[in-house]
Amino acid sequence: MKPRVYVAKHFSKEVISYIENYCECEVWEGEGEISREELLEKIEDKNGVILTSIKIDKEFLDRAPNLKVVSNMSVGYDNFDLDIMKSRNIIGTNTPEVLDNSVADLVFGLMLSSARRIVECDKYLREGKWKSQYDESYYGIDVYGKTLGIIGMGRIGEAIAKRAKFGFDMNVFYHNRSRKLETEGNLGVKYLDLQELLKRSDFVVLMTPLTRETYRLMGADEFRVMKETAIFINASRGQTVDEKALIEALKSGQIRAAGLDVYEKEPIDINNELINLNNVVILPHLGSATFETRNSMAKLSSENMVKALIGERVPNIVKELKE
Ligand code: DGY
């Protein structure tokens, strides 16, 4: 008998038929994202599931007694309760590498749009207005040649550093749990401790995974250290930042602007003050959202799940769950 799986995503026919070669497959056909409650109803008899961001905790695993593999269609896996998954021998996988360049592109999009005020000026024009050549109120700041500080020098951090060094002639600092000597040699980036990086950077990009150690890594003290002219970018996870402190820093002019793809609570609350601030560019968590990359992520997450269920070597088991 084929293993039974649930795909809580909208995948192409090609990807689904690959899964169907090996598994009995049920697919989410509702609009948008499946809710946790809806998914809990679906997984009772399943051996594998593909999803993003839904918390895999005791309640989830109790409802799915036959589950062997949870395949995350994302590089982040902060939705995994690693301790309980480990104690129940659940295989947990993610989709690294295939999204590095798309996320790095988006980070540059956020840097450019917040520095050059692209979204704000787009709105201005649509309101039927036009700037005067000499009106400084719509001037931005340069990205080219400035100093960039990257917190979290994983593969995505490196892809950002490459763009900064070779495309924008930036001076690049990084902070990471451990030094990356090879990256320093290859890209000419320099390691700094967090305080020094915050003090010296014109752009601070937060690109670290969400863990116990990185929860609210950026708070009031950290924003206070940044330059008043600096721009803060977050494309990691919302909970790596104390959002209230960020809002305060943006309102009080402690920092110049921010570009955000992620929020403490997602979907973002409509009453969140960030929505009404002009000096912030906000996107609905779409770091990897290009046709090419999402298709690669769909294929990779499917392969991860299928290989785990047919007993082949699974390429992307997250490091904490490897034997
Ligand atoms: C991920 O895959 O974890 C990223 O958040 C994509 O946007």
- Looking at residue 8, its pLDDT comes to 98
- Looking at residue 221, its pLDDT comes to 98
- Looking at residue 51, its pLDDT comes to 98
Residue type, 102: S
Query: Which of left, alpha, beta for 142 (phi over 0: left; psi -120 to 50: alpha)?
Result: beta
- Looking at residue 134, its pLDDT comes to 67
Q: Are strands 147-151 and 257-260 parallel, antiparallel or unpaired?
A: unpaired
For residue 315, pLDDT beyond 70: yes
Pocket test for ligand 1, best of 74, 94, 297 (most atoms within 8 A of CB): 74
CATH of 100-282, one of 3.40.50.720, 2.60.40.1180, 3.30.920.30, 1.10.3720.10: 3.40.50.720
Question: Which atom belonging to ligand 1 lies closest to the Cα atom of 76?
Answer: 3
Residue-wise pLDDT tens digits, 80-134: 999 999 999 999 999 999 999 999 999 999 999 999 999 999 999 999 988 777 6
Does 158 qualify as catalytic in the annotation? Answer: no
For residue 15, pLDDT beyond 90: yes
* Residue 144: pLDDT band with limits 50, 70, 90: very high
From the list 4, 117, 285, 294, the catalytic residue is 285
Q: In degrees, to the nearest 5, what angle opens at C-alpha 52 toward C-alphas 106 and 314?
A: 100
- Looking at residue 145, its pLDDT comes to 98
The pLDDT mean for the chain works out to 97
Domain extents in the chain: 4-96+291-321, 100-282
Q: Which of 127-136, 250-259, 290-299 has the lowest mean pLDDT?
A: 127-136
Does 266 qualify as catalytic in the annotation? Answer: yes
- Looking at residue 137, its pLDDT comes to 85
Question: What kind of fold does domain 4-96+291-321 have according to CATH?
Answer: Rossmann fold (3.40.50)
Residue-wise pLDDT tens digits, 201-243: 999 999 999 999 999 999 999 999 999 999 999 999 999 999 9
- Rounded to the nearest angstrom, the distance between the alpha carbon of 1 and the centre of ligand 1 is 34
- Looking at residue 132, its pLDDT comes to 77
Residues 6+ apart with CB under 8 A from 238: 260, 262, 263, 264, 265, 266
Does 237 qualify as catalytic in the annotation? Answer: yes
Query: What letters, b where the CB count within 10 A reaches 16 and e where it falls short, cover 129-150?
Result: eeeeeeeeeeebbebeebbbbb
Pocket test for ligand 1, best of 75, 107, 261 (most atoms within 8 A of CB): 75
Task: For ligand 1, say whether the CB of 99 is within 6 Å of any of its atoms.
Answer: yes
CATH topology match: 4-96+291-321 vs 100-282: yes
d(CA 84, CA 81) in angstroms, rounded, equals 6
Q: How far is CA 84 from the centre of its chain?
A: 24
Task: For ligand 1, say whether the CB of 106 is within 6 Å of any of its atoms.
Answer: no
Task: Tell me how far CA of residue 35 lies from CA of 5, 29, 38, 40, 235, in angstroms.
Answer: 17, 12, 5, 9, 23
Residue-wise pLDDT tens digits, 150-185: 999 999 999 999 999 999 999 999 999 999 999 999
